[in-house]
Amino acid sequence: MQRKIVSFVSLLITALLTGCASNETSLANLPSPATILSEEINTLFSLEDGLYFAKEDDFNEEGWKNILSFQIENSKLMDISFNAVNESAASTKKELFLAGISPSNSENNEEIDSWYEQIQLLESYFLYHQIADYNAILAPTHTDELLSNLTLDIEPLVYLIEKALSEGPIELGPYIDGYYYAEQEESDNGFKYFIRLFVQNGYIIAVHWNGLHEDGISLMTDLNSEVTWSEQATRLKKFLIEIQDPMLMTFNEENKTDDVFGVSIEVNDFIELVVESLANGPIIKNEN
């Protein structure tokens, strides 16, 4: 039955929104209600209550990872949120929109404004039509209105909906949502390491670990000779997101770990900073 839910939602949303990428609106390509089994439609009305969540496994070339959350209560969609978190673990796309900041640091915010408006449109549309209301979604007036206002690539969002449905409701994780930060008090070989974390629904979603030299050089981004360090740091961060608990990571007397394949750098600073940041709790971001 779960497979039917996934396949139906994928077919429905993909058929509805495929024209966005090419900016073409064609109702002729949409399936008729007769092509969808009534049993599959009915399963959507009986989704298990709870919080559904999905995220992409990796950040894209621009440094963003799409995330999705929605809440089902009494088989009704109560809330849905599409967003994206930056690999710096310092912001989400929605936060940048609300602050009037372009993610590419460009003075032209037209692209970011367009993304935000379209995401709002999608969220409102799904809430209004309750995902499962197939006839309402297929209605020409609604379809024309939606497709005429969408130009963003919705394939990643379709993937997240399918993923969230296939995994089912989640339990909230152990951490308070927000941004976490910790840094070393003293430098290590001229570098002072720091960590940033982003937590959503109680789970660590993004991790940024870096070291700033006393002369202002960033270990990850500025030293070409340290590409290997950057790659290994990325593996460490991905491992933390997988296991969620830094206390599960081990290291020997040389501060090396066998937990992560291909990592030979010292990891004690990384683990200690993650533990410290989580112990400190979420930071209060400056809204000004």
- Can you list the domains of the chain with their CATH numbers? 2-167 (no CATH), 178-280 (3.90.1010.20)
Instruction: Provide φ and ψ at 30, rounded to 5°.
Output: -80, 140
Is the overall model pTM greater than 0.85, yes or no?
no
C-alpha 207/C-alpha 241 separation (Å) is 8
* pLDDT, position 113: 60
Q: Is the CB of residue 197 less than 8 Å from the CB of residue 207? A: yes
For the chain (288 residues), the mean pLDDT of every run of 10, in chain order, is: 45 43 36 36 64 93 93 87 94 88 56 75 79 45 57 77 88 96 83 93 95 66 57 93 96 92 91 96 70
Supply 262's token pair: 């291909």
Q: Is the CB of residue 226 less than 8 Å from the CB of residue 219? A: yes
Distance in angstroms between the alpha carbons of the first and the last residue of the chain: 49
Instruction: Count H helices and E strands in the chain, helices first.
Output: 9, 6
Helix, strand, or coil (residue 120): helix
C-alpha 145/C-alpha 149 separation (Å) is 7
Supply 179's token pair: 């941004």
* pLDDT, position 161: 83
Q: Alpha helices of the chain — where are they, by DSSP H?
A: 2-17, 38-44, 93-99, 110-129, 134-138, 140-147, 155-167, 227-243, 268-280
